[in-house]
Amino acid sequence: MSRIIFDNEYVIVIPTFKETVSHKHDFYHIFFLRENEIYVTGSGMKHTMPSLDECYAFLMIDPTSDLADHLKEKVLIEGSPVRLKTNTFTYSDDLNDEMIKKRVIDWLMIEGFSDKRPKPEAEDYRIIKLIGEIRDYKHLEKNIAQIALRYNLSESRLSHAFKENVGISLKGYLTIARLKYAYRLVMEGKSKTYASYEAGFSSPAHLAYICKKQMGISITDVLR
């Protein structure tokens, strides 16, 4: 079974699955490769996961995070995936989740990818609040109209403000938050049926479809 470690701004994946089909989503990725290399992809960039022989771990990075902003502004400046030489990210199976999280933080700091940077003052405080709530898995069962009502905004105004401030659609951000929560529930031992409904999907089949479309692999294969 793949090891999945959840943090606030990214998910750490140590995969056992061998490949994915070509796909795209709103996450950013850092794939850790052999030979002191990384492969970086951005929101909306079509890609496949490098082979398991080459890729031993990767990050699924929240597109609203400071780390994603850094990758977009400093690394993915050509608008396409890139490979870079770096220091090796090292871990071992005997490390617990918190120790691996610490290794990732240290690696990000060493490589200058630190995700602890000040936010621009121009950001809409309502959008910052909404992002925080969605990261805490709130609103996943709601549609955009219901969330807009909660914020005393029209659906169109909220959607526009979110896209303007974040660069991706609110609908897209809700989708990846639902996927992340579904994975988390299944990793905690819940059934895929329970996880589907709890994460805001209409059915287990809906979760399976979105997972395959967004991630290029079924949730069953990830957890096999």
Q: Under 8 Å CB-to-CB from 123, ≥6 apart: which residues?
A: 165
Torsional sign, CA 39, 171, 150, 194: negative
What is the reported pLDDT for 124?
A: 81
Mean pLDDT, the chain, as a whole number? 91
**47-75, pLDDT tens digit by residue?**
999 998 999 999 999 999 989 999 999 99
Residue bearing the bigger pLDDT, 116 or 152: 152
What is the reported pLDDT for 122?
A: 42
125-223 CATH pick, 1.10.10.60, 3.40.930.10, 3.40.50.300, 1.10.357.10: 1.10.10.60
Query: Residue 64 in contact with residue 46, Cβ under 8 Å?
Result: no
Query: Residues 127-137, buried b or exposed e (16+ Cβ, 10 A)?
Result: beebbeebbeb
Query: Residue 91 in contact with residue 57, Cβ under 8 Å?
Result: yes
Q: Estimate to the nearest angstrom the gap between the alpha carbon of 192 and the chain centroid.
A: 19
C-alpha to C-alpha distances, 219 to 143, 168, 188, 189, nearest whole angstrom: 24, 24, 14, 14
Residue boundaries of the structural domains of the chain: 3-110, 125-223
**pLDDT for 121 beyond 50:** no
**6-28, pLDDT tens digit by residue?**
998 999 999 998 889 999 999 99
